Structure 1
């Protein structure tokens, strides 16, 4: 797992042939074949997508255990960890947005925003682009870093792969619109369950790391406790509220997604994010990711030692 974390830090995501992108294309092809405007159809779709991925993780782990080669088992865990992590790419996208806005290149920033979230960038000015970036970094610190590490520590390679499949499906079909309100229900709810604990870990780690971004632990904790439950998402609000408190900004407001408009409660006590807050949010996200990596490696090593003590000695 540690080797996979280092690989993500050094390499990031490849431009072509990323395993998650390949899964996404396969899931999109399956959707075209089985789509139906009903919850049971969506449940079956999720099972057909996530089940084989989880079974692949179980099979690969089983082969590694039967072979008995620790280097092979380690290599499998490292590749799986690298494939599901997105922290380095998240940070790079945040820095890219900061550079566009620092250069007053609104066209470039609007074109880049789709790498972080699905909001309509066309009407957004510099301040709203900064807010969208900070909110996306906060939420994706959980989705792309803390959550996969959590499930890797809890369930090994099957946990890593299954979580990334669930989260990818949520990004694809877990939308509240005419097409996916019922078909995407299962993907959205399963993602909520998978992220329930990781989002709260992200909130707590953000509070503890607040001084590294020039913030206050006390203030971040206060905003998290007061505002974390106000977001329409049961998980994203914990991350965004903690970031709002740690950065001393106010997040939330009106977001436009194509023809859909969402009015989200405001979280935090400071001003709206400015361009300068983007780099601070990236620094905070990296600190949270590093702390989560340390905890995950420690938990995984303890789990492995416990498993080895339970094995029969011949």
Structure 2
């Protein structure tokens, strides 16, 4: 029992340190572990690609499964030393979180819009999302940034913390690997429509708990929880994504803005249902409000993840005690 308690305390310390590391440092411009994984996954894709779901499933298994297995091996190696375990958890948490870089990029676009420099805003927008910036005007870019902040709060922070609480370092690394693969091959381009199917579906599965927690925390952390809850409950299912829907609807209600509508991806126009139709359009100042809400949600998610892991440890101890009687 003492070993499990030490493991929980070590994870809590490591996760908190990793969160602070992301808060203070963000992502490095070069040598980021996630970027290295992306290059490796790209190399595997070039060897395995076939216009077939089976080939894509093998790609997902090798890349995401390999990353999680490697993390599990490192965690087992570090287990005898509490210091090594804390250091590994801190490094993994810092590597998989992207909250600071998310806020930095959102503010960069917001600053360009506030200065009236639409060209710079369009140039920076691809750092946040895959939309065609040339097809967007001033207000549409602001809306795209708020929607990206909402969705990526779940993908880049909360989801990883949830899986870290559930499965430790392998959960952290495995979640980020799946999410990265989805960004690489999960979109519905002609090349990846079949090949990326497995990555996209797996991302939907592993993203489910983090998206729901993000939505709940956004409702609680916003200035008007009743409005946020009303919009989230009513509009979440209208979104085509099972995970982006609850998050974006909750952010729309929390910020009091209207999200959704016409989107443009590489020349392809898509009409999405409007979330919070009775609310006002997004303004440039809402980008900063969205970033601040994202920060509050992220901090609450860290506390929730650590508390959940502690409760799980206590329940496990209680069950083990009953069985030993």
TM-score bracket relative to the smaller structure:
over 0.9
Against the structure 1 CA distance between its residues 30 and 263, is the aligned structure 2 distance closer, same or farther, given a 3 Å change threshold? same
User: Whole-Å Cα distance in 2 between the matches of residues 201 and 90 of structure 1?
Assistant: 19
Change (3 A) 1:290 1:102: same
Aligned to 1:205: 217
TM-score normalized with structure 1 length: 0.94
The answer to whether the aligner puts 1:222 opposite 2:236 as a matched pair is: no
Aligned 8 A contact 2:132 2:267 in 1: no
Q: 1:98 aligns with which of 103, 110, 128?
A: 110
Instruction: State the SS of the aligned residue for 1:252.
Output: coil
User: Residue 56 of structure 2 contacts residue 195 of structure 2 at CA under 8 Å; is this kept in 1?
Assistant: yes
**Number of corresponding residues:** 305
Secondary structure at 2:231's aligned position in 1? helix
| Structure 1 residue 298, shift from structure 2 partner | 2.1
User: Which of 94, 99, 114 is the matching residue for 1:87?
Assistant: 99
Is 1:132 aligned to 2:144, yes or no? Answer: yes
CA distance in 1, matches of 2:86, 2:315: 17
Distance in 2 between residues matched to 1:123 and 1:221, nearest whole Å = 32
Superposition CA RMSD, Å: 1.4
Partner of 2:186: 174
C-alpha distance 16-145 of structure 1, shift in aligned 2 (>3 A): same
Report deviation, 1:253: 0.8
Does 1:272 pair with 2:281? yes
Name the CA distance, whole Å, in 2 between partners of 1:186 and 1:195: 14
Match of 2:293 in 1: 284
Pair 1:179–1:102, CA change in 2 (3 A): same
Structure 1 gap segments, 5+ residues each: none
TM-score for the superposition, normalised by structure 2: 0.91
Match of 2:41 among 6, 27, 30: 27
Matches within 5 A, 1:65-84: 65=79, 68-84=80-96
* Residue 46 (str. 1) matches residue 54 (str. 2): no
| Superposition pairs of residues 124-163 of structure 1, within 5 angstroms | 124-163=136-175
Distance (whole Å) between structure 1 residues aligned to residue 301 and residue 23 of structure 2: 14
- The Cα of 1:305 is off from its aligned counterpart by 6.0
Give the SS at the match of 1:59.
helix
Q: CA deviation at 1:307?
A: 6.5
Q: Residue 115 of structure 1: which of 123, 127, 138 is its match? A: 127
Separation in structure 1 between the aligned mates of residue 317 and residue 119 of structure 2, nearest angstrom: 56
Which of the residues 235, 239, 245 maps onto 1:231? Answer: 239
Instruction: Tell me how far apart the structure 1 counterparts of residues 287 and 206 of structure 2 sit (CA, whole Å).
Output: 27
SS of residue in 2 equivalent to 1:119: coil
Hey, what's the Cα distance between the residues in 2 that align with 1:305 and 1:200? 24
Counterpart of 2:265?
257
The alpha carbon displacement at 1:197 in A equals 1.1
1:238-249 matches, cutoff 5 A: 238-249=246-257
Q: CA deviation at 1:49?
A: 0.5
Q: Secondary structure at the match of 2:274?
A: strand
Q: Deviation digits for residues 135-193 of structure 1, max 9, x if unmatched? A: 00000000001000000000000000000000000000001121111100000000000
2:95 and 2:205 map into 1 onto residues whose CA distance is: 22
C-alpha displacement at 1:264, in angstroms?
0.4
**Contact 2:135/2:264 (CA < 8 Å) preserved in 1?**
no
